[in-house]
Structure 1
Amino acid sequence: MTFRYGHAVNLDWAAAVDALVVQLGRDHAGEGLGFVYIADQLGTHADDILRRLRAATGVQEWVGTVGIGIIATGIEYMDEPAIAAMITDWPRSEFSVFSGRARAPVLGDFTPSGADAAHFAIIHADPNTADMPELIEDMSRKTASGFVVGGLSSSRAASFQIANEVLRGGLSGVLLSSAIAIHTRHTQGCSPLPGRHVITEVNGNVIATIDGRPALDVFREVVGPELARDLRRAAFTVLAGLPVAASDTGDYLVRNVVGIDPKNKLLAIGAEVEAGQPLLFCTRGGDSARLDLERMLGDLSDALPGPAKGGVYIACVGRGEHMFGKRSAELGLIRQCLGDVPIVGFFANGEISHDRLYGYTGVLTLFT
């Protein structure tokens, strides 16, 4: 049986929640975990939304966050006052909501069923928190699987997370036990340009030389003569790719080009790097994003032992209509492949998969 889920759009937060509850049902008797994603237009009412959901559904345990865009099965709400929610059928003993104010299970803890209590984490995080990549890596080491998925909140106002209460700063989420069957993959939104390079001189995130040559000279060659004449457009169009060490799938992290110094031929990217680190350059594109999404969905479908009960999809704010050309085209592809599986999620300021913080990706996690 699939999970109950719903989505609604209304500037009146109470009316939106009431429409959600009609879809979610009121007969949950306090069991299960609720996921809820709230558009930033409704963010000031997050406490009220959480209270009303609890009272109406009977479900007491909730996690989620705020997003500029909200995701549900087959549909994307961008810049709309939307809420999406899903309620699982998991026993409360098989998951643990955690935050800086609520202790998480640790490695070696077990649930009453004998399952690893700290097996897999779904997390939401504040994009303004310092050292977030290190915090994500640390969190992954606290799970038996070594896996966390999630995303950084996105909002034009104050960011927040929900972990049984409305929170700001840091990270929070839910730890799932090994009794819960999980299948997850991520898809890239960029296509690498030819050539693999090595950073040879760098200070923090400012690259001085690549392959022993001035960084900007290499960048100009990679982007080609047309873009090289308009460095502002080149910096928007072409991104830096940082290959993941020991990846057997060619995985890489995408980071923006955040600054160019033509006088000193320096290139700044959105991450601190080291001399000797490999470097790619990539371009964003709808065709490559579509192909990689189809590949990911095929891999995930092949891995599923049976129909999925539900899922969470977290995608970069730069995806969706911006990348696929039409509103809801990305979620339409997922629906076309998986059918009407209940899915909720949001468009994030950064996506989390395994132990890393990505950009321009989509992370799909399914429960069977």
Structure 2
Amino acid sequence: MKWVSALSEHRFLKYAAAECAGQISDALGDERPDLVVAFVSAHHAARYDELPGLVRELLGECFLIGCSGGGVIGAGREVEDRPGLSLTAAVLTDVSIIGFHIDNNDLPDGDAPPSAWEEMVRVSAADDPQFVILTDPFSVQGEHLLMGFDYAFPRGAKIGGLASGGRQPGSNALYLGDQIYDYGAVGLALHGNIAVDTIVAQGCRPIGQRMQITACEHNMLQQLDGRDTFEVLRETFQQLDERDQQLAQHSLFLGVVMDEFNEDPQLGDFLIRNILGVDARRGALAVGEILKEGQTVQFHLRDAETSSHDLDAMLTQYTDDKTPESGAGALLFQCLGRGSYLYGRPDHDTDMFRDKVGDLPLAGFFCNGEIGQVSGSTYLHGYTSSFGIFRPKTPLLAGL
């Protein structure tokens, strides 16, 4: 298994593609890629439809997947607010590549068996597939899609993001093989000698105490530990220092422990969700997640410093648990609200990945939403960096 990531900031797409292809060919030599992952900035929107042909002409017959982005990541660098094209090529020995496009109308209903999802993407759960999923934010039910994939393929890793760069329906691009779509979702099912390790950095830190939900209705959080939620929040706010009180005015979130058997949740065990509003009369909060009584929750704050510390901790946790040297390449799905907007400089997350995990070929894009796993289930996130690290299941075969 071999991955190569290339990046060009040329303002003309055909020259950008040629620059990337040259970098890839120099690195691969006589080898030819089986897979190319492409992310293209919205500056090239008028030429979106030319990309599949350029890739085929420059790199030969290979499977293409990708999408448009408000910013792109390639060769371990982040390109924001200017033209960018990221092409990543992978030589995947003993790996089957199955691509799929899903229209919202294709999604099985809630009563459908796992086999309906297997038929939709033309792969069996018995093959232990790993998934990359790219969706259009305007035209597909992302939460339903991810719940279905978890239901049908509970063991498979799922990573990806929502295409960006377009501001209205039909203005984003999704690539699959020779086809380009402006709706639905495209994806890859990879199986064989391949594994995907996932890392999700949600960029928050807890405040106050962990509590149990004692009353809720749908997404309305009514009581915590038998007290009105608004009363608990007010008490938590009063215990913060002045800086955190100011931060809580605009960057307060709720962390929900999704594993009901986890009695001692740690970093990465909370699903971070927006607080959508306050019903002061009822003492309740509206949260961006369906809630259940008995769940453990804790309020969280987010800022640049916290996001940096959280990413550092999640990457350190990964390197402590895994063998990073076995990785061949990585994809990063990063929120548009991170990058220079959050940190005041580019390349923060990619630099930290390199420092912690190593100099793996790293590519990706800035998303309208990020797909990643928390406590074994897949969710659609915001303000997150979601990584997928690709490696052979049997490392000794990596170079064959």
TM range (shorter): 0.7 to 0.9
Mean Cα displacement is larger for which, 306-315 or 91-100? Answer: 91-100
2:305 is matched by which residue type in structure 1? D
* Structure 1 residue 37: Cα displacement: 1.1
- 1:294 maps to 312
2:256 is matched by which residue type in structure 1? L
- 1:155 maps to 165
- 2:355 maps to 336
> For residues 99-248 of structure 1, what are the structure 2 equivalents within 5 Å?
99-100=101-102, 104-107=121-124, 116=127, 118-129=128-139, 131-143=141-153, 145-157=155-167, 158-164=171-177, 165-224=179-238, 234=248, 236-245=250-259, 246-247=261-262
2:253, 2:275 within 8 Å by CA — same for their partners in 1?
yes
Q: Distance in 1 between matches of 2:295 and 2:319?
A: 35
Evaluate the alpha carbon distance shift between residue 232 and residue 171 of structure 1 in structure 2; reply closer, same or farther with a 3 A threshold.
Answer: farther
- 1:8 maps to 8
1:33, 1:59 within 8 Å by CA — same for their partners in 2?
no
Report SS of the residue matched to 1:145.
coil
- 2:390 maps to 367
Q: Does 1:255 align with 2:273?
A: yes
Q: Distance in 2 between matches of 1:178 and 1:255?
A: 35
1:296 is matched by which residue type in structure 2? M
Evaluate the alpha carbon distance shift between residue 227 and residue 290 of structure 1 in structure 2; reply closer, same or farther with a 3 A threshold.
Answer: closer
1:31, 1:91 within 8 Å by CA — same for their partners in 2?
no
* Structure 1 residue 172: Cα displacement: 2.1
Q: Does 1:79 align with 2:81?
A: yes
Q: Describe the superposition over 1:11-33 as per-residue Cα deviations: whole angstroms up to 9, x where unpaired.
A: 32223222222212297786411
Q: Does 1:309 align with 2:328?
A: yes
* Structure 1 residue 108: Cα displacement: 5.7
Q: Distance in 2 between matches of 1:207 and 1:322?
A: 31
- 1:20 maps to 20
- Structure 2 length-normalised TM: 0.79
2:214, 2:226 within 8 Å by CA — same for their partners in 1?
yes
Q: Distance in 2 between matches of 1:217 and 1:249?
A: 24
Listed as ranges, the gaps of 5+ residues in structure 2 are 104-118, 392-400
- 1:351 maps to 370
* Structure 1 residue 333: Cα displacement: 1.2
- 2:398 maps to none
Report SS of the residue matched to 2:350.
helix
Mean Cα displacement is larger for which, 311-320 or 39-48? Answer: 39-48
Evaluate the alpha carbon distance shift between residue 338 and residue 233 of structure 1 in structure 2; reply closer, same or farther with a 3 A threshold.
Answer: closer
- 2:303 maps to 285
Q: Describe the superposition over 1:251-299 as per-residue Cα deviations: whole angstroms up to 9, x where unpaired.
A: 1111112223445544222223234433221111333332332233334
* Structure 1 residue 189: Cα displacement: 0.6
* Structure 1 residue 94: Cα displacement: 1.7
* Structure 1 residue 34: Cα displacement: 0.7
* Structure 1 residue 344: Cα displacement: 0.5
* Structure 1 residue 2: Cα displacement: 4.3
- Give aligned-pair identity as a percent: 25
Report SS of the residue matched to 2:325.
coil
Evaluate the alpha carbon distance shift between residue 275 and residue 125 of structure 1 in structure 2; reply closer, same or farther with a 3 A threshold.
Answer: same
Evaluate the alpha carbon distance shift between residue 141 and residue 265 of structure 1 in structure 2; reply closer, same or farther with a 3 A threshold.
Answer: closer
- 2:96 maps to 94
Q: Distance in 2 between matches of 1:232 and 1:285?
A: 11
Aligned residue-pair number: 360
Q: Describe the superposition over 1:312-355 as per-residue Cα deviations: whole angstroms up to 9, x where unpaired.
A: 11122222234434221221111223343211001222222233
Listed as ranges, the gaps of 5+ residues in structure 1 are 110-115
Q: Distance in 1 between matches of 2:271 and 2:47?
A: 35
Report SS of the residue matched to 1:236.
coil
Evaluate the alpha carbon distance shift between residue 18 and residue 236 of structure 1 in structure 2; reply closer, same or farther with a 3 A threshold.
Answer: same
Q: Distance in 2 between matches of 1:231 and 1:49?
A: 48
Evaluate the alpha carbon distance shift between residue 190 and residue 73 of structure 1 in structure 2; reply closer, same or farther with a 3 A threshold.
Answer: farther
Q: Describe the superposition over 1:46-79 as per-residue Cα deviations: whole angstroms up to 9, x where unpaired.
A: 2212221122111431112222221224321122
- 2:288 maps to 270
- 1:43 maps to 45
